Amino acid sequence: MQLSVIDELDYLRLGICEVKGLNRFTASQEFDSWVDDQLAVARAEVLTPQWQSRREAVRGLLRRGGFKPSGRSKPAQEYLLRCLNDGNFPRINPAVDCLNVLSIRIGLPISMLDKSRFPDALRVRVGQPEEKYVFNSVGQELDLGGLITVCGGPGAVEPLGSPVKDSMAGKITETVSEIVCILYGPIEEIPKEWMDDWAFELKHSIERFAIQ
């Protein structure tokens, strides 16, 4: 069954894809070569005026609800940009790596979450003041106040993901076989057909490299 998405933010363009049967968590030689090719394209893309303009547009998108995208709370693709420039691009597992290379190439943040955490629907809203979730294994918290937040759980009220960092409660592990990916973009900058194409591309790459 397709996930029901409740989009409450009229300034946000979402791309959604679901993948079932995730079962490959180690990279192949073919995948490593593909990642290298994708990163070579990304190194050229991040230097273009279009990419830099989109970077500012994404920051503006996050500010719409009152969030301040600065310091450690920058959009996720800006963390990837720093890693790309440092020559230390993260490699996690094929599914997450597919997400990361697309995110840096197109200049948009993307969440990847455990589909089982969305039994009813996926709701998108602005985080409430003092609302937080843990985003890493050492217990650090992200302040969600004013931030675009993806919610699941019963009634779709539990915050699980965002364009900055996803929660530990929603992140995938090697026991997860079904995922949902959410691409975030400003509606005035990203046409629907672009977002649909990128969501399809992400789904296809994950199915190619993360499913045996």
Helix axes 192-209, 94-106, angle to 10 degrees: 150
- Residue-wise pLDDT tens digits, 189-202: 999 999 999 999 99
- Residue 128 to residue 65: CA distance in whole angstroms: 10
**What local confidence, expressed as pLDDT, does residue 22 receive?**
97
Measured between alpha carbons, how far is 134 from 169 in angstroms, rounded to an integer? 8
Measured distance between the N- and C-terminal CA atoms of the chain, rounded to whole angstroms: 22
Q: What is the pLDDT of residue 159?
A: 98
Q: Which domains does the chain have, with CATH numbers?
A: 5-209 (3.50.40)
Torsion of CA 58, 208, 2, 193, to 10 degrees: 40
CA 132 → CA 110, 129, 150, 153, distances in Å?
Answer: 19, 9, 12, 16
pLDDT of residue 7: 75
Quote the CA–CA distance of 57 and 59 in Å, as a whole number: 5
| Identity of the amino acid at 120 | D
> Quick one: 156 exposed, middle or buried, by C-beta within 10 A (0-12, 13-18, 19+)?
buried
Residues of the chain with pLDDT under 50: 1
pLDDT in tens, 22-62: 999 999 999 999 999 999 999 999 999 999 999 999 999 99
Sheet with 5-7, side-by-side order of all strands: 5-7, 122-126, 148-152, 158-161
pLDDT of residue 2: 66
